[in-house]
Amino acid sequence: MEIVKERRAGPKRIGELLVAANVIRPEVLMEALQIAKKSTTPLGRVLMSIGEISESDLQVAIEVQSLLREGVIANDFGIKALNLACKSKIPLEEAFRRLGWQPPQRESMSSNELGELLQAAGVVTSERMEEAVRQSHENNLPVGRCLVLNRAVSPALLASALTAQVLLRDGKISREQAVEGLRSASRKQQTIEESLQQVGAYKPGKESVRVGDLLTSAGIVTEGDKITAVEVGLESHRQIGDVLVQSGMISNTTLEESLKLQDLVAQGHLTAAQAAEILRTAHTQGVTVRAVLEEKLARKEQIDKTNTVVEFLQLSGILTENDMIKAKNLSQQLSVSLGEVLISTQMVDQRLIDAAIQSQDLVKDEILRPEQVARVLQMCARTGLEFHEALKQVAWDTPDQVADDASAKQKSSWMLKLWSKVKKD
């Protein structure tokens, strides 16, 4: 049987592999793809949610996919192994052996960096580690996840151990600092970053955000899935984003959008919290990050303008005293501006806010006085007229609003100056 040498093109996507291996039917794949597209849920998760595959089936398919992409096994052999593993409910390595191929011995996790760090820090015994390694081989799960399932370590401590590996890999801390940081994190029930900062071993630079943290904060990937992806990535020397894409947890588009936001945080244009909120909105609405950013920028501009006309809205009586009390209370409670409160709660009709904004230039140019603006806004509120229409009514019907001693010529000049500033129909 050709196992490694043959390299014919074949299915490389998870769904296609599962169909080729007769694990799911083609019509099931089509239905799942439609659900995944409408709900923006990864295909693998959809297939699991409708009961077509188990989590172990998905993990086997992901591993076969990875081996095919790396050219370790031939397409036909991978499909046969996938079928056997899923139908017989056995680990992929056992399926390989039954098909006559002895896969390369997997590196023992107990001898790798994760196991060594946890044991050196005294938070995991060698017996618990060996048990986790055995379960990892039997169930095709990362060792760290097995340790959590066995309650040998908490999810938070595993996350700290994986963070220590990343910091070690990037040369930011020494092995001794990693071990002591883990020991302190376990004892004080805090993150390893906090432990390292307390002893001056680690100083975070300007604000940044990891892709995995961004995805979990946005509610797209669970904390457990993120930790597993980090562990798999460290073991296989792959980026967490690539692991998540290959596992079907996120799409390539979601990864690309996450990387864009990561860059914006690194450049200081966004905070990590803002980036997560933008990603969550884009993912939920099925739009691009750019579209969300443009909408937010437009909203910010509108809020800034609204903040400048609160006085006009009060003077005209559109914003009552009770309204102002409520708006100020909300503003203080939510730590946002009055303008944002007015827009978000729709306390004032947007049409009237726009009218107040239009009047600003007229006041700046000393064409209208604030009390005249108030009359125009009152007209807008009472009649439903647009700003320029209401302005005509107030200006022509109430000439007393011009200075008492103004001559007809002065009035005419004033009106020309006024209309030159106002948009006409």
Percentage of the chain beyond pLDDT 70 is 85
**pLDDT for position 170:** 76
More reliable by pLDDT, 59 or 19 = 19
Q: Is residue 62 packed enough to be buried (19+ CB in 10 Å), middle (13-18) or exposed (0-12)? A: buried
More confident residue, 45 or 10: 45
Tell me, rounded to whole angstroms, the distance of Cα 423 from its chain centroid. Answer: 42
Q: Name the pLDDT band for 26 (thresholds 50, 70, 90).
A: very high
Where do the structural domains in the chain lie, given as residue ranges? Answer: 14-98, 106-204, 205-225+237-287, 299-421
Q: What is the pLDDT of residue 425?
A: 40
Instruction: Identify the pLDDT of residue 317.
Output: 92
**What is the band of 400 on the pLDDT scale with cuts at 50, 70, 90?**
very low
Mean pLDDT, rounded, for 209-229: 88
pLDDT value of residue 58? 84
Average pLDDT along the chain: 82
**Per-residue pLDDT tens for 66-93?**
777 667 788 889 899 999 999 999 988 8
Average pLDDT over residues 306-332: 90
State how far the Cα of 50 lies from the Cα of 33, in Å rounded to an integer.
Answer: 12
How much is the pLDDT for 340? 86
> Who has greater pLDDT, 372 or 40?
372
